[in-house]
Amino acid sequence: MAQFEGVSQMSAVHPKPVGLVLQYGTAGFRTNSKQLDHVMFRMGLLATLRSKKTKATIGVMVTASHNPEEDNGVKLVDPMGEMVTPAWEGYATQLANAEQEGLLTALKDVIEREAISIAQEASVFVGKDTRPSSESLSQAVLDGVHALESHSKDYGLVTTPQLHYMVCCQNTQGRYGDATVKGYYQKLSQAFIQLTKNVPNRTDDQKALLVDGANGIGALKVCEMETYLKKELQLSVFNDGSSGKLNHRCGADYVKVQQRAPTGVEMSAGERCWSYDGDADRIVYYYSDSAGRFHLLDGDKIATLISTYLKELLTQAGLDLQIAVVQTAYANGSSTHYLEDTMKVIVRCTKTGVKHLHHAAQEFDIGVYFEANGHGTVLFSIEAEEKIQQLAQDSNTNDKRKNTALLLQNTVNLINQTVGDAISDMLLIEAVLAIRGMTVQQWDAIYTDLPNRQLKVKVADRRVIDTTDAERRTVGPAGLQEAIDIPVNKHRQARSFVRPSGTEDVVRVYAEADTQESADALAHEVSLAVYRLAGGVGEEPKPL
C-alpha cells in the first residue's frame, strides 16, 4: 500500500538507534532530546492511527515540561483533550521500541488489533514548547503524520493546555470554544472580566502580580494574553526566556521542591507571585511575609480554595451537586484532614499523573483535582453544567440564586477542563480571591502545612521499585517497606513513601512530619533505605 511505502521511506530519515528502549512514563516519553527523533516520527504515525480509529482530531505536544532544557518529550492528546487512553500507551511503547526493520509490522499490528480502516481520513494538531530541540522534533512528528497522508495543523509555540484546548474545541465543533489561540484568550479573559466586574474597589495593588515564566512558553503566552485582560490584571513577567535557561533555578517544580523563591525575582513583603512550569500546565503561588519568611501555596492549597469557593456557590444557588477533591500521595496530610474533616468533601487518592486524577474526577458532578506540584483543574459533568445553565436562565428564581448561577457559569468558562492549565488556574484563583475579598495571607491560613521534604535517589534501575495503594506503599524490592516503616514510626505525625519517577531517571522520596528537622531526617533515612535496598548508584545520600 502506498501509505506504507511512504512510512518506510520517511522512517529511514528518522532511524531508531539500535537497541534503544524507552518507557512510556507519567506523561509520555521523556529523555534527552538527542534520543527522541525516531520516537517523534513514530508518535506522528500513532496519532494518525488514533485519529483514524476515533474519527476525531488528536493532539501531539512536543515538550519535556519541568525537565531540564536538554531533555524533550511528547504528550499525546485524545479527542476530548484528555491524555491518551492506557491501551494506546502500550501501542506507543511498542512503536517507539520496534527496531527499524520491524516498524511496519508493529504498525500493522496496531491497525489489526484496533480494526482501523486505513482509508479513514485523519487529522492531527501539533504544538511545541520553547526548547531548542522542539523545532526539529515537532517536524519529525509532522513527517510521521504526513507519511500516513493525514491532515495536520501545526500550532507552533503553544502551551500544553492550549493544545489540549484546541483539540477539544475542534472535536466539539466549536462548542467548547474556537480552536485558535486568540479564541482561547478571548474565552478565558471574558470569563475573568465577567467574574470580577462586580467586585467593588479592586485597587491596582490587588490587580498586580508577579509571574515567573520558568523561561518558557508560559511567559510568552501570558504576555500575549495580557491585552485581552484589559488591565483587570497587571502582570510583571520575569524569567521570560530573554536571558535565563528553561526551568533553571526557576519555575513551579523548582519552587515547590526547593521551597524557595526562584532566582530573578525581587519580591517585596506581601507581593503575590506565581510560578509556571516549562509547558505552563502547572502553577504554584507564593509570597514572603514582613519577616522575610517564604510562604508557598501549592496545588493542595489551590484545590482547597477552589473547592471551598465552589461549595459555597452551590449552597447559595441551592444546587444539589456532589463535589470531590482528587489528590495523590504527595498531598500534604494537613490538606487532606482539612478537606475531609472541616470541609466535609469527598477526597480520593490516585497514583501520580494527571491522567489518573482526571479519570477519578470524572466520577463526580464536580471533581476538583490537583497534584501538590500544582498540576490540576476542575471537571464539571454534563448534568452539572446543564443544571447551572437552567438555573441561570430560570425566570422563576430569585436574583440571588440567579446571580450565583451566573457566577458559576463564568467560573466554568474560565476553567480549562481538558487538563491542568497554569494560565487558566491563575485567573481562576485571582478571581476567587477577589470575589471572596480574601488576601493571600488569609488563604494561606486556611490550614498549616505539615513540614515536608522531597528528595531524589539515583539507582541503577528504578523499575525495581514496585508500589501499591496509590503509591503509598512499596511491595518491592523485598524489605524496603519495612525499612521505611521503622523511621516513620520514630517521628511524630510522620508519613513517607517512595516511587520511581516517570519523567526523570530517579526514585522520588517524600516525607512529612511535625517539624522540618524531623521531615528532613526522615527523608534522609528513607533515601538511605532506597539507596541500600534498591541499587543506589553514586554517593550515598548525606543528611540535609
The residues that are catalytic are: 65
Distance CA 202, CA 107 (A): 57
Kindly calculate the radius of gyration of the chain based on its CA atoms and give it in whole angstroms: 23
* 500 has binding-site annotation: yes
Distance CA 7, CA 41 (A): 10
Helices (H), 98-251: 103-113, 134-147, 160-171, 181-196, 204-207, 217-226
| Residues of this chain that bind ligand G16 (CB under 6 A) | 26-27, 65-66, 277, 281-282, 352-354, 371, 373, 375, 501-504, 508
Neighbours of 260 (CB within 10 A): 13
* 42 has binding-site annotation: no
Is the preceding peptide bond at 477 cis, omega within 30 degrees of 0? yes
Vertex 129, ends 94 and 150: CA angle to 5°?
Answer: 50
What are the CB-based long-range contacts (under 8 Å, 24+) for 101-107?
Answer: 103/7, 103/8, 103/11, 103/16, 103/42, 104/4, 104/7, 104/8, 107/4, 107/7, 107/45, 107/49
Supply φ then ψ for residue 476, to 5 degrees: -165, 150
* 501 has binding-site annotation: yes
Distance CA 148, CA 107 (A): 11
The closest alpha carbon to 60, from 134, 128, 4, 150, belongs to 128
* Contact between residue 147 and residue 6 where contact means Cβ atoms under 8 Å apart: yes
* Contact between residue 61 and residue 279 where contact means Cβ atoms under 8 Å apart: yes
Helices (H), 369-455: 382-393, 399-414, 422-436, 440-444
Task: Using the minimum distance from each CB to ligand G16, give the nearer residue, 29 or 309.
Answer: 29
Task: Using the minimum distance from each CB to ligand G16, give the nearer residue, 53 or 282.
Answer: 282
Residues in the chain: 544
CB of 264 to ligand G16, least distance (A): 20
* Contact between residue 239 and residue 251 where contact means Cβ atoms under 8 Å apart: yes
Distance CA 78, CA 76 (A): 7
Residue 70 CA neighbour count, 13 Å, CB half: 4
Burial of 26-39, coded b for 16+ CB within 10 Å and e otherwise, reads: bbbbbbebeebbbb
Task: Using the minimum distance from each CB to ligand G16, give the nearer residue, 151 or 456.
Answer: 456
Which runs of E-coded beta strand occur in 314-381? 323-328, 346-350, 366-370, 376-380
Residue 173, Ramachandran bin (φ over 0: left; ψ between -120 and 50: alpha; else beta): left
Distance CA 151, CA 164 (A): 18
Per the annotation, where are the binding residues for substrate? 371-373, 499-503, 508
Per the annotation, where are the binding residues? 65, 277, 279, 281, 371-373, 499-503, 508
